[in-house]
């Protein structure tokens, strides 16, 4: 008891090597980490910390977002054009609350809201 781990894997940064994304959770907080392939090693990158979890929060998960067209929400602009994902991305979801998708672009992870 203590930690719930959820993970996905794909080539998130397009270098031809497998990367891994993990949801790590304890009783108080959870975080999403990526083990990004770098040469013959891996570099840990924290994407998001979700703090102060409620007692019954097992409603958080991650899922693989396939490469291709990604629609997203932008509260300032209703006429958003889809993002063309060149690699698979990571979607972090909190059931009936939010969804955020993290994708690799220009040497770093960027994110957009993909659900509310």
pLDDT tens-digit profile, the chain (116 residues): 344 458 999 999 999 999 999 998 777 788 899 999 998 999 999 998 887 655 445 678 889 999 999 999 887 777 788 999 999 999 998 777 788 999 999 999 999 998 86
Q: Global pTM? A: 0.85
Residue-by-residue DSSP string for 59-109: -EEEEEE-SEEE--B-TT-S-PPPEEESS-EEEEEETTTEEEEEEEETTEE
In whole angstroms, what is the distance from residue 48 CA to residue 99 CA? 12
| Phi, psi for 28 (deg, rounded to 5) | -110, -35
């Amino acid at each position: 008891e203590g930690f719930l781990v959820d993970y996905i894997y794909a080539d998130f940064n397009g270098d031809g090597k497998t990367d891994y994304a993990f949801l790590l959770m304890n009783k108080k907080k959870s975080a999403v980490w990526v083990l990004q392939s770098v040469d013959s090693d891996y570099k840990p990158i924290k994407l998001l910390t979700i703090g102060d979890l409620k007692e019954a929060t097992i409603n958080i998960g991650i899922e693989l977002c396939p490469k291709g067209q990604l629609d997203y929400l932008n509260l300032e602009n209703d006429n958003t054009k889809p993002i063309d994902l060149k690699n698979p991305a990571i979607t972090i979801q909190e059931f009936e609350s939010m969804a955020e998708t993290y994708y690799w672009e220009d040497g770093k992870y960027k994110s957009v809201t993909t659900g509310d």
